């Protein structure tokens, strides 16, 4: 009977990790959906490229790549004949390493910003190209592990 409890404990651990990854996926999907539905496009100029090291929750170091950008945050269609380019805005946005390596200071990049917080911006290519496949891949072993542990608990229960 205690062997079955051990299997169920491991099933619970797999379920816990699956739930945490699912939560991360849901948060990221919600953020990307907000940028896709409510964001406004702009052309931004890269003022500076930054790399910084930060610790992950597992205690490892990772490099975060960022652009300091400037742009005009015109977020509404102007129906008058007056030319309105928007308000000058600067922001620091995290980017993927490949985008960081491909761009230089002074380059122009396409971004999407949120009208309620113009400093919250992302590269258009990263918003349009996001699919979350990496998290799905991380979730798969925990789903498989959960079912393997349930089967193991069932077998151990009937053997005792």
Write down the pLDDT at residue 80: 57
Q: Is-above-0.85 flag for pTM?
A: no
Instruction: State yes or no: pLDDT of 59 exceeds 80.
Output: no
- Average per-residue pLDDT in the chain? 87
Write down the pLDDT at residue 65: 93
Q: What percent of the chain has pLDDT over 90?
A: 50
Average pLDDT over residues 9-20: 94
Instruction: State yes or no: pLDDT of 148 exceeds 60.
Output: yes
Write down the pLDDT at residue 109: 93
Write down the pLDDT at residue 4: 87
Pairing of strands 61-72, 40-55: antiparallel
Provide DSSP, 19-30.
HHHHHHHHHHHH
Write down the pLDDT at residue 76: 60
Q: From residue 77, give the alpha-carbon distance in Å to each of 28, 51, 121, 126.
A: 29, 36, 19, 25
């Amino acid at each position: 009977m205690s062997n079955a409890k051990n299997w169920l404990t491991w099933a619970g651990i797999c379920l816990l990790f699956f739930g945490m990854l699912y939560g991360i996926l849901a948060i990221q999907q919600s953020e990307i959906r907000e940028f896709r539905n409510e964001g406004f496009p702009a052309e931004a100029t890269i003022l500076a490229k930054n790399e910084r090291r930060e610790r992950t929750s597992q205690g490892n170091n990772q490099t975060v790549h960022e652009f300091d950008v400037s742009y005009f945050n015109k977020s509404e269609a102007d129906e008058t004949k007056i030319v309105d380019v928007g308000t000058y805005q600067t922001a620091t946005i995290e980017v993927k390493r490949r985008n960081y390596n491909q761009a230089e200071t002074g380059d122009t990049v396409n971004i999407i910003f949120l009208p309620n917080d113009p400093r919250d911006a992302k590269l258009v290519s990263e918003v349009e190209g996001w699919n979350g496949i990496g998290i799905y891949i991380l979730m798969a072993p925990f789903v498989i592990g959960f079912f393997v542990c349930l089967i193991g608990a069932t077998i151990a229960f009937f053997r005792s």
